[in-house]
Amino acid sequence: MVGRKAPGGRIPRALLIPALVGLAFIALPVLALVVRAPWSDLGTVADDASLTTVLRLSLVSGALATALALATGVPLGWLLARGSFRGRSVVRALALVPLALPPVVGGLALLLAFGRRGLLGAPLEDAGIILPFTLTAAVLAQAFVALPFVVLAVEAAVASVDRDLEDVAASLGAGPVRVFVRVTLPLARPGLAAGAALAFARALGEFGATVTFAGSVRGKTQTLPLAVYDVLQRDRDQAVLLALVLLALSALVIVALRGSFLGGGRSRD
Protein backbone atom coordinates (compact mmCIF):
# COMPACT_ATOMS: atom_id res chain seq x y z
CA MET A 1 0.00 0.00 0.00
CA VAL A 2 1.37 3.37 -0.98
CA GLY A 3 -0.53 5.13 1.74
CA ARG A 4 -4.06 5.96 2.75
CA LYS A 5 -5.56 9.18 1.60
CA ALA A 6 -5.80 11.77 4.31
CA PRO A 7 -9.41 12.56 5.15
CA GLY A 8 -10.71 15.04 2.60
CA GLY A 9 -7.32 15.25 0.96
CA ARG A 10 -5.69 13.71 -2.10
CA ILE A 11 -2.20 12.43 -2.57
CA PRO A 12 -0.55 15.09 -4.73
CA ARG A 13 0.60 13.78 -8.07
CA ALA A 14 3.99 15.41 -7.55
CA LEU A 15 4.57 12.95 -4.70
CA LEU A 16 2.70 9.97 -6.04
CA ILE A 17 4.58 9.69 -9.34
CA PRO A 18 8.14 9.66 -7.93
CA ALA A 19 6.95 7.33 -5.19
CA LEU A 20 5.68 4.87 -7.77
CA VAL A 21 8.88 5.24 -9.78
CA GLY A 22 10.86 4.39 -6.66
CA LEU A 23 8.72 1.37 -5.98
CA ALA A 24 9.08 0.16 -9.57
CA PHE A 25 12.81 0.72 -9.36
CA ILE A 26 12.93 -1.82 -6.54
CA ALA A 27 10.29 -4.17 -7.89
CA LEU A 28 11.48 -4.44 -11.49
CA PRO A 29 14.93 -5.97 -10.89
CA VAL A 30 13.44 -8.39 -8.35
CA LEU A 31 10.80 -9.31 -10.90
CA ALA A 32 13.45 -9.70 -13.60
CA LEU A 33 15.36 -12.11 -11.39
CA VAL A 34 12.27 -14.23 -10.94
CA VAL A 35 11.11 -14.04 -14.58
CA ARG A 36 14.48 -14.66 -16.17
CA ALA A 37 15.47 -17.49 -13.85
CA PRO A 38 16.06 -20.79 -15.67
CA TRP A 39 13.37 -22.54 -13.67
CA SER A 40 13.80 -25.74 -15.69
CA ASP A 41 17.34 -26.06 -14.31
CA LEU A 42 16.13 -25.71 -10.75
CA GLY A 43 16.33 -29.44 -10.17
CA THR A 44 19.99 -29.61 -11.08
CA VAL A 45 20.86 -26.78 -8.72
CA ALA A 46 18.84 -28.26 -5.87
CA ASP A 47 20.79 -31.46 -6.21
CA ASP A 48 24.08 -29.66 -6.32
CA ALA A 49 26.15 -30.56 -3.28
CA SER A 50 28.14 -27.33 -3.59
CA LEU A 51 24.94 -25.30 -3.16
CA THR A 52 24.28 -27.07 0.13
CA THR A 53 27.79 -26.23 1.26
CA VAL A 54 27.50 -22.58 0.25
CA LEU A 55 24.09 -22.24 1.85
CA ARG A 56 25.30 -23.85 5.06
CA LEU A 57 28.37 -21.61 5.15
CA SER A 58 26.20 -18.54 4.62
CA LEU A 59 23.70 -19.44 7.33
CA VAL A 60 26.34 -20.54 9.84
CA SER A 61 28.58 -17.51 9.33
CA GLY A 62 25.57 -15.18 9.23
CA ALA A 63 24.19 -16.60 12.48
CA LEU A 64 27.59 -16.47 14.19
CA ALA A 65 28.16 -12.91 12.97
CA THR A 66 24.72 -11.89 14.23
CA ALA A 67 25.43 -13.51 17.59
CA LEU A 68 28.75 -11.68 17.78
CA ALA A 69 27.13 -8.38 16.82
CA LEU A 70 24.43 -8.91 19.45
CA ALA A 71 26.88 -9.93 22.16
CA THR A 72 28.86 -6.72 21.72
CA GLY A 73 26.24 -4.42 20.17
CA VAL A 74 23.59 -4.84 22.88
CA PRO A 75 25.89 -3.66 25.70
CA LEU A 76 27.23 -0.91 23.43
CA GLY A 77 23.72 0.27 22.55
CA TRP A 78 22.76 0.18 26.23
CA LEU A 79 25.84 2.22 27.11
CA LEU A 80 24.94 4.86 24.55
CA ALA A 81 21.33 5.00 25.74
CA ARG A 82 21.90 4.91 29.50
CA GLY A 83 25.48 5.82 30.18
CA SER A 84 26.46 9.38 30.96
CA PHE A 85 30.12 9.71 30.13
CA ARG A 86 32.30 12.10 28.22
CA GLY A 87 32.97 11.30 24.61
CA ARG A 88 29.66 9.53 24.10
CA SER A 89 29.17 11.16 20.72
CA VAL A 90 32.63 9.95 19.71
CA VAL A 91 31.72 6.41 20.74
CA ARG A 92 28.49 6.61 18.77
CA ALA A 93 30.27 7.94 15.70
CA LEU A 94 32.84 5.15 15.95
CA ALA A 95 30.13 2.51 16.24
CA LEU A 96 28.60 3.79 13.01
CA VAL A 97 31.81 3.78 10.96
CA PRO A 98 31.16 0.36 9.34
CA LEU A 99 27.83 1.71 8.10
CA ALA A 100 29.42 4.55 6.16
CA LEU A 101 32.63 2.79 5.18
CA PRO A 102 32.69 0.96 1.82
CA PRO A 103 32.80 -2.75 2.75
CA VAL A 104 35.96 -3.34 0.71
CA VAL A 105 37.70 -0.66 2.76
CA GLY A 106 36.36 -2.32 5.90
CA GLY A 107 37.78 -5.64 4.76
CA LEU A 108 41.14 -4.04 4.03
CA ALA A 109 41.10 -2.42 7.49
CA LEU A 110 40.32 -5.79 9.05
CA LEU A 111 43.21 -7.31 7.13
CA LEU A 112 45.57 -4.63 8.42
CA ALA A 113 44.35 -5.22 11.97
CA PHE A 114 43.95 -9.00 12.07
CA GLY A 115 46.00 -10.02 9.00
CA ARG A 116 49.16 -12.06 9.42
CA ARG A 117 51.24 -8.91 9.71
CA GLY A 118 48.46 -6.80 11.16
CA LEU A 119 48.42 -4.80 14.39
CA LEU A 120 46.81 -7.58 16.35
CA GLY A 121 47.34 -10.28 13.72
CA ALA A 122 51.10 -10.52 14.24
CA PRO A 123 50.94 -11.35 17.95
CA LEU A 124 47.97 -13.64 17.20
CA GLU A 125 50.07 -15.50 14.63
CA ASP A 126 52.83 -15.90 17.20
CA ALA A 127 50.21 -17.52 19.38
CA GLY A 128 49.35 -19.85 16.52
CA ILE A 129 46.10 -18.17 15.47
CA ILE A 130 45.82 -17.25 11.81
CA LEU A 131 42.61 -15.47 10.89
CA PRO A 132 42.65 -14.36 7.22
CA PHE A 133 40.98 -16.63 4.69
CA THR A 134 39.25 -18.70 7.37
CA LEU A 135 35.58 -19.03 8.30
CA THR A 136 36.37 -17.00 11.43
CA ALA A 137 37.52 -14.17 9.15
CA ALA A 138 34.23 -14.35 7.23
CA VAL A 139 32.31 -14.18 10.49
CA LEU A 140 34.41 -11.22 11.69
CA ALA A 141 33.90 -9.38 8.39
CA GLN A 142 30.15 -9.88 8.56
CA ALA A 143 29.95 -8.92 12.25
CA PHE A 144 31.95 -5.78 11.45
CA VAL A 145 29.39 -4.52 8.96
CA ALA A 146 26.37 -5.79 10.95
CA LEU A 147 27.33 -4.29 14.31
CA PRO A 148 26.04 -0.73 13.67
CA PHE A 149 22.53 -2.04 12.95
CA VAL A 150 22.41 -3.70 16.36
CA VAL A 151 23.88 -0.69 18.17
CA LEU A 152 21.45 1.76 16.56
CA ALA A 153 18.40 -0.43 17.15
CA VAL A 154 19.31 -1.25 20.75
CA GLU A 155 20.14 2.34 21.63
CA ALA A 156 16.75 3.52 20.35
CA ALA A 157 14.93 0.62 22.00
CA VAL A 158 16.60 1.05 25.40
CA ALA A 159 16.12 4.81 25.32
CA SER A 160 12.40 4.22 24.91
CA VAL A 161 12.21 2.04 28.04
CA ASP A 162 10.72 3.93 31.00
CA ARG A 163 13.61 4.53 33.42
CA ASP A 164 11.20 4.61 36.34
CA LEU A 165 10.54 0.90 35.77
CA GLU A 166 14.25 0.17 36.06
CA ASP A 167 14.40 2.25 39.23
CA VAL A 168 11.41 0.43 40.73
CA ALA A 169 12.99 -2.91 39.85
CA ALA A 170 16.14 -1.85 41.70
CA SER A 171 14.13 -0.78 44.75
CA LEU A 172 12.50 -4.21 44.75
CA GLY A 173 15.91 -5.76 45.23
CA ALA A 174 17.08 -6.38 41.68
CA GLY A 175 20.76 -5.70 41.04
CA PRO A 176 21.86 -3.93 37.86
CA VAL A 177 22.30 -7.15 35.87
CA ARG A 178 18.91 -8.48 36.90
CA VAL A 179 17.28 -5.14 36.03
CA PHE A 180 18.89 -5.28 32.60
CA VAL A 181 17.95 -8.90 31.88
CA ARG A 182 14.48 -8.95 33.44
CA VAL A 183 13.20 -5.44 32.76
CA THR A 184 15.22 -3.50 30.20
CA LEU A 185 15.78 -6.28 27.67
CA PRO A 186 12.19 -7.61 27.62
CA LEU A 187 10.82 -4.09 27.23
CA ALA A 188 13.34 -3.33 24.49
CA ARG A 189 12.59 -6.63 22.76
CA PRO A 190 10.79 -5.32 19.64
CA GLY A 191 13.67 -3.00 18.76
CA LEU A 192 16.17 -5.66 19.69
CA ALA A 193 14.53 -8.17 17.34
CA ALA A 194 14.51 -5.63 14.52
CA GLY A 195 18.20 -4.95 15.08
CA ALA A 196 19.02 -8.65 15.07
CA ALA A 197 17.04 -9.25 11.86
CA LEU A 198 18.67 -6.32 10.07
CA ALA A 199 22.09 -7.47 11.27
CA PHE A 200 21.43 -10.99 10.00
CA ALA A 201 20.22 -9.67 6.63
CA ARG A 202 23.29 -7.49 6.33
CA ALA A 203 25.60 -10.37 7.30
CA LEU A 204 23.92 -12.67 4.82
CA GLY A 205 24.45 -10.25 1.95
CA GLU A 206 27.94 -9.19 2.94
CA PHE A 207 30.39 -9.27 0.03
CA GLY A 208 33.13 -6.65 0.00
CA ALA A 209 34.58 -7.02 3.47
CA THR A 210 34.33 -10.80 3.30
CA VAL A 211 36.05 -11.16 -0.06
CA THR A 212 38.86 -8.84 1.05
CA PHE A 213 39.49 -10.29 4.48
CA ALA A 214 38.33 -13.90 4.14
CA GLY A 215 38.66 -14.45 0.40
CA SER A 216 36.36 -16.58 -1.70
CA VAL A 217 37.64 -20.05 -0.84
CA ARG A 218 35.16 -22.61 -2.04
CA GLY A 219 33.82 -24.78 0.75
CA LYS A 220 35.61 -22.66 3.36
CA THR A 221 34.76 -18.98 3.13
CA GLN A 222 32.62 -18.79 0.01
CA THR A 223 29.21 -17.59 1.15
CA LEU A 224 26.20 -17.13 -1.13
CA PRO A 225 26.96 -13.62 -2.42
CA LEU A 226 30.55 -14.66 -3.17
CA ALA A 227 29.30 -17.79 -4.91
CA VAL A 228 26.84 -15.76 -7.00
CA TYR A 229 29.68 -13.51 -8.18
CA ASP A 230 32.01 -16.45 -8.75
CA VAL A 231 29.50 -18.46 -10.76
CA LEU A 232 28.44 -15.37 -12.70
CA GLN A 233 31.88 -15.33 -14.35
CA ARG A 234 31.18 -18.73 -15.90
CA ASP A 235 27.46 -19.47 -15.97
CA ARG A 236 24.89 -16.73 -15.74
CA ASP A 237 21.89 -19.05 -15.37
CA GLN A 238 23.46 -20.80 -12.41
CA ALA A 239 24.24 -17.44 -10.83
CA VAL A 240 20.63 -16.35 -11.20
CA LEU A 241 19.44 -19.51 -9.47
CA LEU A 242 21.85 -18.91 -6.59
CA ALA A 243 20.65 -15.32 -6.42
CA LEU A 244 17.10 -16.59 -6.10
CA VAL A 245 18.13 -18.54 -3.01
CA LEU A 246 19.47 -15.32 -1.51
CA LEU A 247 16.29 -13.53 -2.49
CA ALA A 248 14.22 -16.16 -0.71
CA LEU A 249 16.34 -15.78 2.43
CA SER A 250 15.96 -12.00 2.31
CA ALA A 251 12.19 -12.43 1.95
CA LEU A 252 12.22 -14.59 5.08
CA VAL A 253 14.09 -11.90 7.01
CA ILE A 254 11.59 -9.28 5.88
CA VAL A 255 8.72 -11.47 7.04
CA ALA A 256 10.47 -11.86 10.40
CA LEU A 257 10.97 -8.09 10.58
CA ARG A 258 7.34 -7.37 9.85
CA GLY A 259 6.38 -8.61 13.29
CA SER A 260 8.91 -6.48 15.10
CA PHE A 261 8.73 -3.08 13.53
CA LEU A 262 7.64 -2.91 9.94
CA GLY A 263 4.08 -3.60 11.08
CA GLY A 264 4.43 -0.96 13.76
CA GLY A 265 3.86 -1.49 17.46
CA ARG A 266 4.66 -4.48 19.53
CA SER A 267 3.95 -8.02 18.52
CA ARG A 268 2.88 -9.45 21.82
CA ASP A 269 -0.05 -11.81 22.48
Partner 1 sequence: MTLDARLVARRGRFRLDVGLTIERGETVALLGPSGAGKTTVVRLLAGVASIDDGHIRLDGTVVDDPATGAFVAPHRRRVGWVPQGGGLFPHLSAVHNVAFALRARGTRRATALASARDWLTRVHLADRSNDSVEHLSGGEGRRVAIARALASDPALLLFDEPFTGLDVAARVEVRQAVRDAWDASDAPRLLVAHEPVDALSMADRVIVIEEGAVVQVGTPGDLCERPRTAYVAELAGLNLVRGSGGTEAGHPVVRAGHGEVLQVAESVEGSVVATFRPSAVAVFREAPGGSPRNVLEGTVSEIVPTGERVRVRIDSHPVVVAELTTSAAAALELRPGDRVYAVVKATEIEVRPAP
Binding residue (CB under 8 A) for partner 1 from 93, 167, 236, 263: 167
CB of 187 to partner 1, least distance (A): 6
168 near partner 1 (CB under 8 A) = yes
- Site size with partner 1, rule: CB under 8 A: 20
Residue 193 is a binding residue for partner 1 (CB under 8 A): no
158 is a contact residue toward partner 1 (CB under 8 A): no
181 binds partner 1 per the rule CB under 8 A = no
Among 8, 12, 87, 175, binds partner 1 (CB under 8 A): 175
Measured distance between the N- and C-terminal CA atoms of the chain, rounded to whole angstroms: 25
What type of residue sits at position 245? V
Q: Is 265 in the site for partner 1 (CB under 8 A)?
A: no
By CB under 8 A, tell whether 165 contacts partner 1: yes
| Stretch of residues binding partner 1 (CB under 8 A), selected from 11-19, 60-68, 159-167, 250-258 | 159-167
Torsion, CA 169, CA 175, CA 178, CA 183, rounded to 10: 20
Q: Which of 125, 180, 124 is nearest to 154 (CA)?
A: 180
The residue among 166 and 206 lying less far from partner 1, judged by its C-beta, is 166
CA distance 81 to 195: 15
Q: Does 102 bind partner 1 (CB under 8 A)?
A: no
* 171 part of the interface to partner 1, by CB under 8 A: yes
Tell me the window of 6-14, 28-36, 164-172, 206-214 that interacts with partner 1 (CB under 8 A). Answer: 164-172
122 binds partner 1 (CB under 8 A): no
Q: Which of 55, 105, 135, 174 binds partner 1 (CB under 8 A)?
A: 174
* Smallest distance from partner 1 to CB 57, Å: 37
> Least Å distance between CB 257 and partner 1?
21
Rounded Cα gap, residues 267 and 119, in angstroms: 45
Residues of this chain that bind partner 1 (CB under 8 A): 164-165, 167-176, 178-179, 182-183, 186-187, 189, 268
